[in-house]
Structure 1
């Protein structure tokens, strides 16, 4: 056990971003990349010692539109966990309702690596899933692209941005989005090209409800994988009250703060 875990023992953790990779289900190479297996048991073992109260299983580019692995993972992990899936724009209302019943709560647009619906479908599909099942939209996107997406994003019902937006170049726009109610995942600290601590403070100051923690495990293709010190950095930068919000409360409200199957 790392020295950081006892210092995190005072905090409930809702891990709003991690992946389950199970080769019993379809995987599609993305840019020549296929990840190693990382099952539910692997994830729970890695998080042993945390006060884990739930989390969000997020579909990766290499899972494309497969739903079978996600439904199986949610069944294994239990009702405290939710799913974030990738869907084609042609998805039926019936499938949306079926996935909602299985615990899925968001649709992901992977603009960084593909495997999801395209940016041209963002406005229509994000509104549709919200209207039918109350889901929000999640974007894996370089913040440098956010100025061109700003008007679309702030007009959508509910949105989050992965991995602190990845790049310093678009960070001022990310701050403006946070001020307007867009959530920002405090994930992938080893993926970004800027100092994480000051960025966390700036985003929290812009909107205390915006930041939501995730481990990003197993950190596929990340230059540096998650460490327990990443969660501890949130405590150090934001203090006890801020850490409670970011490590659990904000994400729980975002993913679970609605009647089942009903729009937010």
Structure 2
């Protein structure tokens, strides 16, 4: 059995007692971006990881799902587990049809391995371009992976920061599947929605109907802190312009948060601030994720 891996000294553990949200989620709502960490030693963290988190396994995730009022989860492979998708796949299998997964794989992945994960509920792969979290990967590797997964109808989740979009944009347009951008490409919320960086992202979505966005993580983008007033205009603009191509998720258990740990119930209460109309909420939380992950 693997040894217990001690979390980083400055790691903030997830909120121990989140509030019951005031906002009532629509029936069938999906938490479309969350993670599982371990628990180790059952699911050890990868030797090449950039951080060692707290243990936050499937049982705690599904207890949170029920507490907040969600019906389903989409579990995104965490970088602390590298390309060992065992914890994520196990969580999907445990939940049956109530969970889907996003994997992290290498160019060596085989058709048989993809088929096995597909049977467990995996529906896509994640390409991470955030340099502080992962080492650089040649674009040819990503293109090889994309060619292998497209036959299964999988899509690609991409994670990058706003200042890198101009350089990445030509490559993103080469990818042959639906793309889902994590956290709106992490805009700098001190610059305003009219800044060229954010407008470049809006233009990317306008010009490419296969590109979706997760309007997630106000706690990660804010400079002002809760209740995240400075973040509201960004996801609100995307929901308003692209109501059929947006997703929302908690990001539980909130990796690499350094300033504060959000209350997940308060995050749910943030939703009507960015999607005020009931029809927007229905698309954001039910119709869009069901079409992408369960159709």
Give, in angstroms, the shift of residue 124 of structure 1: 3.2
Give, in angstroms, the shift of residue 167 of structure 1: 2.4
Partner of 2:164: 145
Which residue, out of 173, 189, 196, partners 2:231?
196
Q: 1:19 aligned to 2:47?
A: no
Distance verdict in 2 for CA 1:144–1:225, change over 3 Å: same
Give, in angstroms, the shift of residue 229 of structure 1: 2.6
Task: Give the number of the structure whose alpha-carbon radius of gyration is greater.
Answer: 2
Give, in angstroms, the shift of residue 9 of structure 1: 4.1
Contact 1:87–1:117 (CA under 8 A) maintained in structure 2: no
CA RMSD in angstroms, aligned pairs only:
2.3
Q: 1:8 aligned to 2:8?
A: no
Which residue, out of 232, 246, 250, partners 1:211?
246
Partner of 1:184: 213
Give, in angstroms, the shift of residue 116 of structure 1: 8.9
Deviates more, 1:187-196 or 1:238-247: 187-196
Partner of 1:232: 269
Partner of 1:261: none
- Name the SS for the 1:47 alignment partner: helix
Contact 2:50–2:80 (CA under 8 A) maintained in structure 1: no
Q: How many residues were matched structurally?
A: 256
Contact 1:235–1:242 (CA under 8 A) maintained in structure 2: no
Deviates more, 1:201-210 or 1:150-159: 150-159
* Unaligned runs of at least 5 residues, structure 2: 1-16, 192-196, 224-229
In 1, Cα distance between equivalents of 2:136 and 2:37: 17
Deviates more, 1:92-101 or 1:233-242: 233-242
Which residue, out of 102, 106, 121, partners 2:141?
121
Give, in angstroms, the shift of residue 36 of structure 1: 1.1
Contact 1:163–1:188 (CA under 8 A) maintained in structure 2: yes
Partner of 2:67: 49
In 1, Cα distance between equivalents of 2:29 and 2:138: 32
Contact 2:220–2:257 (CA under 8 A) maintained in structure 1: yes
- Bigger fraction of residues in helix: 1
Give, in angstroms, the shift of residue 29 of structure 1: 5.2
- Name the SS for the 2:109 alignment partner: coil
Contact 1:88–1:117 (CA under 8 A) maintained in structure 2: no
- Name the SS for the 1:90 alignment partner: coil
TM-score by length of 2: 0.78
In 1, Cα distance between equivalents of 2:153 and 2:50: 35
- Name the SS for the 1:250 alignment partner: helix
Contact 1:164–1:192 (CA under 8 A) maintained in structure 2: no
Contact 2:65–2:72 (CA under 8 A) maintained in structure 1: no
